[in-house]
Structures are given as structure tokens and as C-alpha cells.
Structure 1
Amino acid sequence: MIDNRQKAAMLIAVINKISKTLDYQVAVGHVVDLEALFEDRLNFSKLAEELIDYLDQEPADKLARQLMLFNETRNIRKYSETLPSGTIKSDIVNLADAIDKLYDYGSRITDKSNCDYPHLLPVFHSETAKELFDRAVNANYLDYNYKPNPDTDHYQLKLIAYAIISILQMPSRNAWVHFDHQWEITSSKITSFRIPRTKGNEIIKIVQLYPEVDFRPLLSSKNDEKKSFICKLSEAQARALFKALVGNGYIAANNKAEDFLTMAGLVNMPPHMIKWTSTMYALVYFVARVFSDTNSDVWSLTTLWFNMDGRDELNRETLKSKRSYIFRNMDKFDSMCKDLDQIVDSTLR
């Protein structure tokens, strides 16, 4: 009698193994040791009925879908016709009948589930999962077929997937791969997508979309932490420096102090790009003055954290070149350097 999920799963596995072993031997024309294959003398038809009765009482979509993985029975039925009447022939016919019955049952269950959730993979066939995907649809990250909209970035999909995995409490093993299939991601696995610290505004939108999820384990990984600057300033000094830079027209007023503190590695918050509103020479001198002693990759970090009007992206080599030019021609930049020195020095008092 099948009275629990484990017994049901074991029975499916046994039937699957016997049928595929026989089907393979028939296909290659080398059938051997049928007595050993059917030595347990299982009543497959009776076991199939018990399995169906169990699944009717304890619905399990995952088990029902496994019934769809049985091999087609045409070959083993044809092979049974070549055998003389007897126990082995009856066992093979019995096995084929059971497989066909189970396949038809699994097909009916799967078809019903697909009607309820036509655009979601079977693993997401539940009202809870549908509601979580619907949030992303309503926020224009996914279309009505639950596929990514053209302007949805990979890192946004990773955040949405993380939220759904967390809420559904999906087993961490292989959980992400379901989203690769759902969204037809073929370029690389979703787990490999980097979440840019410079996309803070967009990250916050998704965090707010799934408020019941703690995103910190995803956003506060060791790899992400390394992308902040390392600096010698205290939090109070950094706040004062930010205020002075905004007040003197070096940083846009719509940036917040927390943006600057996150960039400096002093607080752990979703990242925002810092908009530099003065010249690139001023930016280079400021970064060199404050961060170069403690960051070997200072110019790479600068391209990640700062932007300027009229430029899609700062270039690391250009920044390095301008630094060399400034320090070879200090007389040309005397006023700018003194102004920034005064701002920086005033925060250290």
C-alpha cells in the first residue's frame, strides 16, 4: 500500500528503471536476463492503481510530472509479441499497461495545471508563485507571458528571482536554473549576473516590490563590498566633505550624503552613482587627493562610482592620463587644487 510520498517516488523510480532497461535492450537488439529484471514479480497494474489513488488523495505536481518521463511502450509491446506465453510475457504486458495508465494520468494532471498557469513552468504552478510573478509584470519588468521586457536588465531579473526563491522557500540546489528556463536565458546562467552597485535607484524599486524579502545576503556579498572605495575618513568627516563639495558646486545637489558614504565604504546601502558637476580635472585631483593612497584600483573604482553630464561612462585610462597631466602642470591648476585642498583639509580638523 502506498501511504506516503517517499513510497510513491520509489515506485515511480522502480517502474522507470525496469522499463527503460528493457526498452534499451530491445532497441539495441540484445535482450538478456529477463528473469533477473522481473525477479520481484511485481503486479504493475495493481501498483499503478495504488499510485493513482494516492496522488488523487495527496496531489503532488512534481510526482505527476515524473509520470510523463516514462518511455513510450510501443517497442516493448512489440517485443512481447515475439515471446511465448508465460510469466515473462505477462510481466512485460502488465508493465506496458501500467506505464500507459500512469502516463495518461500524469498527462491529465499536467494539462489541467498548464491551463491554470499556461505561461509558467510547472515548478511555479501555484497561486503564490503566480502572484509573485504578477508583481514583476505590473512593475513592467516582465510581459504578460512572464518573459522579460526588452528593457529589463539581467541584474533586475536576478533580484526578482532571488525574491521569488526566498518567498517560495525553494531548495537552494538548482533553484536558479528554473529561472534560466522560465526566462529563456541562454547567454549565461542567471547566477553569474553581477548586480552593479551603481544602480541603487533601480535596486531599491525591486526591494520595495518584495518588502518581505531580506536582500542583504545578495547585496552584501564579499564581492560587492570590494567595489567600494577604502578611505581614512570617519563617517562624520565624510558627511562634512560631501556637504562642502555640494555647496561648492562639485557634486550635484540631488545626491544624498548616504550615496557618498556608501561609495566610501562607510555604510552598507544600495549604491547610487555620484554626479560630478565640475571638470574632469577637478574630479581626478579630488579622487587622487582622498582615495589614491588606500586604493590600488582607484581609477577603476572612479569609473564605477562617478558620472558627468555629457558622458556615458568615464574611462579609466583617460583618468590616469589626466592625473599625470595635472601633476606635470601644477601651475595651470593652482586655483583648482587650492580650492579642493581647502575643502578636504577643513573636514579633517
Structure 2
Amino acid sequence: MTRQDFVIKVAKINKILGELKYGIDIDTILDFSFLTPQLLMLAEWTADIQQYISQEPSPSLARQITSIGYTDEIKKYLAKHKEDITPTACVTLLIDSIKRLQSLFEICRQYQREEKGQYKDLVETLANEQVATLLQRAVDAELLDNHFQPAPDTKTLQLRVIAFAVSSICKFPRTYVDFEKQWSHTTSYRISTCSIPKYRTKFYEYAKSLYPEVDFSPLESSCGIETFYTPQSPEDITKMYNELIKYKYIAPDTTLDVFNGIFDKAKFVKPVEWIKEQRLLAYFLYLAFGKWNKKNLWVKGGKCFLINGKAPHIACFKSGYSSIKRLGWMDRFDTRLKAICEEFNHIEETAKEKVENKGRIIHIGKEVFYSDM
């Protein structure tokens, strides 16, 4: 058998198993009598492949064998329906073929482990001296164990930093794919989608410190920033800023650039420090920005403001605003702050903006409804 024959037979086995898996997926009791010719060939091809790989061991061929799918699903199906399936030579042939394939998988995996030698704890694409040396830093920092797996207290965010750093140094074209395979058994989260914090960065900074030669700026994108939409002019924003400084609602060292940043992601510098109570901040957010930011008002408030150096809790915003409204204090909770917000919100909504602020239009017959979904 040639290498080309090997590849073709692997593809044909995958096709037969795929057809069986399709029958399982549509929840039918398979009639194996119609599959006798294919199952005869399945047994023959499996034997040929096993013989060929024993004579011509190769990492690439071993990968092709271990990529053959659906054997576990078919084995479970046969066990589940053993009372419904008539034991025939055909069924026996299928069971034997599945067993032989799974045995072959283990032989190939063992071969792959031996090929990697001292890097046997790393997936094949990471099994080299450079990666192992870089990951050893995380092992020494107790973020990974001696098998390069995450330690029990390691955060998903820290794994993302490690993966980004190693991929950057080794110039891997796909930053996270190989590391998600490496850590797939010990973490249920995709490290590539783990968000980067803006404020509580203790664990993030610790992981970064292990790789001082890496530029992490591409990782620290602005995708997590939320800012307020407002149709007001720069002059309106500046006037409100001056009033908030004058009457000591925000920290006196807050610059205009920092304040302008909460209205534009591209200009965002850092959150504004609010120096009054949190309930008053909720009151301010609702009066100043609620008209134009109904959907994510409290989320944006939590991103754009700090109280005592910490991000406010969204739940506290909601409960604080609700208590003011329930007590009927919306017009008198803080009359000066209310006046500042009313002056800021002197612009009227256009007809189009009124529709957009109501939500997405849903047409049902001749009726029109609005949805915030």
C-alpha cells in the first residue's frame, strides 16, 4: 500500500463512520444489513492501515489516524441499543472494527508521545525547546504545574496572557488555538475570548511580569470600553465639566481630556472619579445620560466612573435610582445637580432618534410594537 492509498482509505473510513453517525443523529434504529458491503471494507481498510503504520511510522500519518471521528458515538449507540439490534455477523464486524480503530488510536498517541520525548506534556505544535523554556517561567511562578497544565488557582485571564506572550515571541500565526488544545482538559473557558480588565489588574499584571520583553499593547484593545453617546456639542460637555468641578461632584484633579474621554472610545483615558455618594451618581447618570443611553446606562456608568478608586456596582446603581424614584425625590434629591443635567439636556430628540431610543420596531400585521431586545 502506498501513502496515497493510506490517505484514501482513511478518508473512506471517515465517510462510512460519518454515515453511521448521521443515522444516529436522526434518532433511528439502524438496519445494519444494508451496510454489509461497507462494513466488510471498513474491517479490511482498518487492518491495512494498522499494518502500514507499523511499517512506516510517521507523525503526520499518526495525526490522520487519530483524526478519524465518531468511534465513541457509535460504540455508545451499540451499547445503548444492544437489546434492539439483532446480533449478526455484520454487527459483530462493526464492533470489531471500532475496537480495532480505537486500539490503533492509542498506538498512534503513544507513538506521538514518544516522538515528543521530553516535551511529551505539550501538544505537538508546542512540543519544542523554545516553548517549553517560555512556559517554564509560568511553572516557576506556580501558574502552571510541572506538566504545563494550569494550577488550580490560575485565572483564565492569566492563561490568555501566557498564550499571547509565548505566541508573540515564537511568532505563531494563531495566537490561542494551540494553547486552547493544550489546556482543553483543565479549563472550560475559551482563553481567546477572556476580557482584559481596566481597573482590577492584579492577576493580569502578575502574569505580564513574567514576559517583560513582550509588547502587550495589542492585547489591551479598547473593546472593553463603554462610553456615553451624546448629541451635545463640545461646549455643552465643557460647561457641564466645569459645573461638576465647581460644585465638587468629581475629583478636582480631573482634567477636561479625561472627562471628554467618557464620550469617545478613541479619546478614553481613564474613568472619572466621583467624590459624592454612589446613589447620587446613579441620579446624575439617569438625568444626564438616560435620555440617550437607555439600553446600557448602568454598564456605561460602571465603566466611566470610579468611587473611592473602585468601579461602582451596577446593581447598586439600579437599587439607588429605584429608591430615589420610589420615594418621589426625582425633582428634589439634589436640585443643583438636576439643574446642571437639565441645562446639558437642552437638545430635543429628532423623530428618528425617538424611534431609535424606543428600541427596535417589530411589525405584526398592521400594529407596530417597540422592543429593547
- Gap runs ≥5 in structure 2: 20-29, 73-88, 346-373
Report what 1:280 is aligned to: 278
SS at match of 1:315: helix
Aligned with residue 296 of structure 1, among 286, 294, 297: 294
Q: Distance in 2 between matches of 1:275 and 1:244?
A: 15
SS at match of 1:307: strand
> Which residues in structure 2 correspond to 1:297-316 (within 5 Å)?
297=295, 298-309=297-308, 313=313, 314-316=316-318
Report what 1:62 is aligned to: 63
The aligned amino acid for 2:195 is I
Q: 2:244–2:250: 8 Å Cα contact kept in structure 1?
A: yes
Q: What is the aligned length?
A: 304
SS at match of 2:184: helix
Give the superposition deviation at 1:63: 3.3
Distance of aligned partners of 1:198 and 1:274 in 2 relative to their CA distance in 1, 3 Å threshold? farther
Distance of aligned partners of 1:61 and 1:248 in 2 relative to their CA distance in 1, 3 Å threshold? farther
Report what 1:318 is aligned to: 320
Distance of aligned partners of 1:137 and 1:117 in 2 relative to their CA distance in 1, 3 Å threshold? same
Q: 2:254–2:272: 8 Å Cα contact kept in structure 1?
A: yes
Q: 1:199–1:273: 8 Å Cα contact kept in structure 2?
A: no
The aligned amino acid for 2:63 is K
The aligned amino acid for 1:295 is N
Q: 2:240–2:344: 8 Å Cα contact kept in structure 1?
A: yes
Aligned with residue 331 of structure 2, among 310, 327, 332: 327
Report what 1:106 is aligned to: 108
Report what 2:153 is aligned to: 150
Give the superposition deviation at 1:315: 3.1
Give the superposition deviation at 1:211: 3.0
After superposition, the C-alpha distances for 1:136-187 in whole angstroms (9 at most, x for unaligned) are 55676555543155262x4555666677789644499x879637724332xx
Report what 1:74 is aligned to: none
Q: Distance in 2 between matches of 1:272 and 1:237?
A: 21
Q: 1:228–1:265: 8 Å Cα contact kept in structure 2?
A: yes
Distance of aligned partners of 1:191 and 1:328 in 2 relative to their CA distance in 1, 3 Å threshold? same
Q: Distance in 2 between matches of 1:100 and 1:60?
A: 15
Bigger fraction of residues in helix:
1
Q: Distance in 2 between matches of 1:8 and 1:242?
A: 73
Report what 2:229 is aligned to: 230
Q: Distance in 2 between matches of 1:192 and 1:8?
A: 36
The aligned amino acid for 2:230 is C
Q: Distance in 2 between matches of 1:140 and 1:238?
A: 48
Report what 1:190 is aligned to: 190
Distance of aligned partners of 1:51 and 1:308 in 2 relative to their CA distance in 1, 3 Å threshold? same
After superposition, the C-alpha distances for 1:29-82 in whole angstroms (9 at most, x for unaligned) are x889866644699687765454456544x65663364589989xxxxxxxxxxx
Distance of aligned partners of 1:249 and 1:134 in 2 relative to their CA distance in 1, 3 Å threshold? farther
SS at match of 1:296: coil
After superposition, the C-alpha distances for 1:321-340 in whole angstroms (9 at most, x for unaligned) are 3476252355xx54x667x6
> Which residues in structure 2 correspond to 1:207-246 (within 5 Å)?
211=215, 214-215=218-219, 220=223, 227-232=226-231
The aligned amino acid for 1:63 is Q
Q: 2:10–2:65: 8 Å Cα contact kept in structure 1?
A: no
Report what 2:81 is aligned to: none
Q: 2:251–2:275: 8 Å Cα contact kept in structure 1?
A: yes
Distance of aligned partners of 1:204 and 1:64 in 2 relative to their CA distance in 1, 3 Å threshold? same
The RMSD of aligned alpha carbons is 6.0
The aligned amino acid for 2:9 is L
Q: Distance in 2 between matches of 1:257 and 1:140?
A: 43
Give the superposition deviation at 1:318: 0.7
SS at match of 2:331: helix
> Which residues in structure 2 correspond to 1:1-349 (within 5 Å)?
2-3=2-3, 8-14=6-12, 37-38=39-40, 48=50, 50-51=52-53, 55-56=57-58, 59=60, 62-63=63-64, 65-66=66-67, 105-112=107-114, 116-117=118-119, 119-121=121-123, 124-127=126-129, 130=132, 133=135, 142-144=144-146, 145-148=148-151, 150=153, 152=155, 154=156, 157=159, 168-170=172-174, 178=181, 181-185=184-188, 189-190=189-190, 195=195, 198-199=198-199, 201=201, 205=205, 211=215, 214-215=218-219, 220=223, 227-232=226-231, 250-252=249-251, 260-267=259-266, 273-280=271-278, 282-284=280-282, 286-288=284-286, 290-297=288-295, 298-309=297-308, 313=313, 314-322=316-324, 325=329, 327-330=331-334, 333-334=335-336
SS at match of 2:329: helix
- Pick 1 or 2: higher relative contact order, CA cutoff 8 A, min separation 6: 1
Give the superposition deviation at 1:109: 1.9
Q: Structure 2 length as normaliser, TM-score?
A: 0.51
Q: Distance in 1 between matches of 2:243 and 2:264?
A: 19
Give the superposition deviation at 1:236: 8.6
Q: 1:228–1:301: 8 Å Cα contact kept in structure 2?
A: yes
Distance of aligned partners of 1:49 and 1:36 in 2 relative to their CA distance in 1, 3 Å threshold? closer
SS at match of 1:327: coil
After superposition, the C-alpha distances for 1:265-299 in whole angstroms (9 at most, x for unaligned) are 34276x85543223336534543454233211434
